[in-house]
Amino acid sequence: MGNKKNTILVIEDEKPIRKVFGIALESANHKVVECDNGREGIRLTTSVRPDLILLDLGLPDIDGKEVITAVREWSQVPIIVCSVRNHDEEVIKALSLGADDYITKPFNPDVLLARVLANLRKAVNLEAGDPELTNGTIRMDLVRHEVYINGEKTSFTPKEYELLRYFMINRGKMLTHKQILKDVWGNAHADDVQYLRVYVSQVRDKIEADPTNAIYIITEPGIGYRMENVNSNPNWTHKP
């Protein structure tokens, strides 16, 4: 399986515009999830956990500004409004409610993609402090969702990627089983310790020179795991 793509949630009631969004975003290697009304958009935000939302304001059930308000009650996911409403008061209101950017229709797809990329970069900067994370021979590009081990691009499943990212952001900290499961998988999996062990083993197989003698992800018996800060190791050899 390939590296995780950024998931973009498109909340737009006009099918031709959704199609334009889809073509542009998929050509830039994003995954697109779409819906045609605001309430479904709010539901998908909680279930899909998109990396960014493209939002129309003129929706058939509720105004797009209500979507912004609802999402901002619990999430800081980047929201780009894309609307025919070009009055200053509409733009100011949407931004004041928590939208990150505002594009008026009709729009240039290249400009749209540039705004999407800029807001994705801003989001990872806010969360991790840098669009790239490095530790020893591991380098993660948080915008492109790519992982390089000893300079070699390495394939991770989406959940393996999220787990490695979590460890990288929290390196040096002792993390309990329950804490990791809750933050990476959600409350429903908070007690699935064996489930976590399987994924940690899979990640170790990809990042460790010798998974049986791990130097990155260390087991804290009976507690959880800790990712060590590791100096670059010139003797690391990637397994075929």
pLDDT in tens, 210-236: 999 999 999 988 888 989 988 765 444
Q: Which class is 7-128 in CATH?
A: alpha beta
pLDDT in tens, 15-37: 999 999 999 999 999 999 999 99
pLDDT in tens, 138-150: 999 887 889 999 9
What number does CATH give the domain 132-227? 1.10.10.10
Domain with CATH 3.40.50.2300 in the chain: 7-128
For residue 219, give Cα distances in angstroms to 48, 105, 190, 223.
30, 52, 18, 8
pTM of the model: 0.59
Q: Which residues of 15-29 are buried (b: 16+ CB within 10 A; e: fewer)?
A: eebbebbbebbeeee
pLDDT value, residue 236: 47
pLDDT in tens, 42-86: 999 988 889 999 999 999 999 999 999 999 888 888 999 999 888
Q: Per DSSP, what are the bridge partners of residue 102?
A: 81
Local structure of residue 3 (DSSP, 8 states): P
Domain with CATH 1.10.10.10 in the chain: 132-227
